[in-house]
Amino acid sequence: MEREQLISKWLDNELSEAELQAFKSLEDYNDLVRIAETTKQLEPPVYHTPGEYKRLRKTLGTDKKSVIIHLKPLLKIAAVLILFAGIYYATTSTQKTINLQTDIAQKEVITLPDNSVVTVNAMTTLYYDPTTWDDNRAVTLDGEAYFQVAKGATFSVETPNGLVSVLGTQFNVRNRDDKFEVYCYEGSVQVETASKTVILKPGDRFRESVKISSNTPQSTTLQPSWVRDETSFEKTPLKEVLKEFERHYDVSVTVDKEVENVLFTGSFTHTNMKIALKSISLPFNLSHKKQGNKVTLSRD
């Protein structure tokens, strides 16, 4: 069945089970449903049917039945045309936004329109609008990314838990599992949350709602370790370390409850799973066993 017929029957709620499945398999099915839901909220024009009908009958010289028969398909065609117009508008308007999503163990480096460079960690979503970039240097982030920002107007990173604003600097933003962390490597960074606003200098870190300052005026760390295929931790619960491990190796990890909250300080590589598991398990005298894509850590 032609797609126009499927849409027309869908509008009339006349699809059979097989036709409904065919309709749901249309490439723009989600757009059709979204637009249809939106149009339900629109106020339809009010027609004074008797008066309009009399004028129409006088003009056409026909009876009531012929008007009803010919008008209904015209309304259906109009509805289909409105939906197609809505789909065109929705798709062309959303195509302006660039959306980047990384998978497990995937890392991407992108260059923004102003030549700022962003290194995107695994299991991260980042998007921005290049058409408004000259007036609004802004990205939205859910996950983790390292930013090397070209000097210019204010550059902002919006996350579910806070807003980071800079002019030109290098910094890392991490927003995972409702935990928000920003580390400044160069320049200065402003961090805003619902409860406070702080300014970070090189070597300063903002973690959730606490600003942690470095012990020295200038940090010797030039970039986050994960950019070099290694993730580092400082006094981090083991269960959080293992979540990060899962993002870089396509496995599911379970650990004894009695040790899941012990604090880990150290690092693991992203390039060798055996070495990475040893780096995590040896400090706590844990043994590890791997079967398929499942890893178990336990006390000996």
User: Which domains, ranges and CATH numbers included, belong to the chain?
Assistant: 3-94 (no CATH), 98-212 (2.60.120.1440), 229-299 (3.55.50.30)
d(CA 8, CA 27) in angstroms, rounded, equals 16
Grouping H, G, I as helix, E, B as strand and the rest as coil, residue 255 is strand
* pLDDT, tens only, 48-67: 444 444 454 455 554 444 34
pLDDT for 269 equals: 94
Q: What is the DSSP string of the chain?
A: --HHHHHHHHHTT---HHHHHHHHTSTTHHHHHHHHHHHTTS-PPP--HHHHHHHHHHHHT--HHHHHHHHHHHHHHHHHHHHHHHHHHHHHHHTTSEEEE--TT--EEEE-TTS-EEEE-SS-EEEE-GGGTTT-EEEEEEEEEEEEPPSSS-EEEEETTEEEEESS-EEEEEEETTEEEEEEEES-EEEE-SS-EEEE-TT-EEETTEEE--SSSS-S--S-GGGGTEEEEEEEEHHHHHHHHHHHSS-EEEE-GGGTTSEEEEEEESS-HHHHHHHHHGGGTEEEEEETTEEEEEE-
CB proximity list for 103: less than 8 A, separation 6 or greater: 122, 123
d(CA 225, CA 223) in angstroms, rounded, equals 6
Give the residue-averaged pLDDT of 254-260.
90
Residue 39 confidence (pLDDT) above 90: no
pLDDT for 85 equals: 57
* pLDDT, tens only, 261-283: 999 999 999 999 999 999 999 99
pLDDT for 81 equals: 59
d(CA 60, CA 233) in angstroms, rounded, equals 81
Closest alpha carbon to 187 in 162, 212, 222: 222
Give the residue-averaged pLDDT of 1-30.
75
Cβ-contact 160, 140 below 8 angstroms:
no
**Which of the four pLDDT bands, split at 50, 70 and 90, describes residue 75?**
low
pLDDT for 60 equals: 52
The one-character DSSP state at 48 is -
Beta pairing class for 137-148 and 155-159: parallel
Residue 80 confidence (pLDDT) above 90: no
pLDDT for 49 equals: 43
Average pLDDT, the chain: 80
Q: What percent of the chain has pLDDT over 70?
A: 73
CB proximity list for 290: less than 8 A, separation 6 or greater: 251, 273, 277, 296
Give the residue-averaged pLDDT of 240-253.
93
CB proximity list for 93: less than 8 A, separation 6 or greater: none
Instruction: Read off the amino acid at residue 54.
Output: K
Residue 91 confidence (pLDDT) above 80: no
Give the residue-averaged pLDDT of 209-238.
73
Give the residue-averaged pLDDT of 24-52.
58
Cβ-contact 243, 268 below 8 angstroms:
no
Residue 148 confidence (pLDDT) above 70: yes
d(CA 173, CA 146) in angstroms, rounded, equals 6
CB proximity list for 300: less than 8 A, separation 6 or greater: 285, 286, 287
* pLDDT, tens only, 132-142: 999 999 999 99
Residue 219 confidence (pLDDT) above 50: no
**Which of the four pLDDT bands, split at 50, 70 and 90, describes residue 7?**
confident
